[in-house]
Amino acid sequence: MAGRPVVVPGGPRRPADPGRGAAVHGGPGRRPRRRGPRVARRHDLPAEGDRRPDRARRPYRREGFLIMPFITTADGAQIFYKDWGSGRPVVLSHGWPLNSDSWEAQALFLASHGYRVIAHDRRGHGRSTQTWDGNEMDTYADDLAALLDALDLRHATLVGFSTGGGEVARYIGRHGTGRVAQAALVSAVPPFMLRTPDNPEGVPVTVFDGIRAGSLADRSQLYKDLAAGPFFGGAASQGVQDAFWLQSMASGHRNAYECVAAFSATDFRDDLAAFDVPTLVIHGDADQVVPFDVGGKRSAALIKDAELIVYAGAPHGITDTHREQLGADLLAFLEEISS
């Protein structure tokens, strides 16, 4: 076979280019071409002196893109989370039946002011797994613990809105404050919403039965009615109300139904007694979902040295109706230990 021409599919083989081969291998005349995995661009890298472990551990930065991040809990549930900015971590827990999008205004504001903001979708809500089981506060708190552990967050500030306030309280009650520097409860359900013989100031069970019945009958209309009525107290635009409905419909039917019992019938009084970090309580005195006298006023009294800020005339959904004021108050609270 020696001496026969080699037939190359697609046409004759071009003669070798000495200059081309030299360039690939670093020879003279051409700049070497990069081979192998992409090297991070300059703006992907932390500045000198800013090589914090929290940045290095983020698993979802690949090739300059942000991939939707999840953590996996002990029972296999996938918990979606956002992770914006850099700096001392702030973890935001959302209300029922919403998801982390409900924190958009505060997340953007705080991340723009030098904080790393993490906001997750509770199981059964938003982009997280719609599990059949685990729709109660102990599991919610354990999922939050799994998130803090997976990201190895330290010196974090936990901020909980409405049901998320219960999640934060139960987290501290079950897992302590080893990773926590501060806590904030915003329009939050603790210490105990349901009226019982030992909680006579609570809300009658008929209120929560009505929510559950509405969920089974026509939950889409229920969410529209809540947004147009008690949640925002008539102080939100149609766009904000539509966002409330959209987020609510993204929750699992069973998950949202079960969560009504979780936020209304869980007693957080012992959890609040375990708070040993600076705590801020913010509540509107016109809240028709978690009345001030049932929620913020009593929580502030039960948490040692808690700071209470009352928004005069404010409804439940102050993450939207009072977004600027809430952002400023949270930032001032964060900066109490940042300087």
The catalytic site residues sit at 162, 287, 316
Give the Å distances, CA to CA, from 184 to 105, 113, 168, 194, 333: 16, 18, 9, 22, 9
Rounded CA separation 24/30 (Å): 8
The arrangement of strands across the sheet holding 70-72 comes to 70-72, 78-84, 115-120, 88-93, 156-161, 180-186, 279-284, 307-311
DSSP 188: -
Which among 291, 333, 331 has a CA at the least distance from the CA of 314? 291
Nearest partner of 273 among 211, 179, 191, judged by Cα: 191
In DSSP notation, 316-336 reads S-HHHHTHHHHHHHHHHHHHH
Beta strand 61-62 pairing with 65-66: antiparallel
- Judge contact between 142 and 150, C-beta under 8 A: no
β pairing state of 78-84 and 70-72: antiparallel
Distance CA(173)–CA(150), nearest Å, equals: 20
Q: Is 44 helix (H, G, I), strand (E, B) or coil?
A: helix
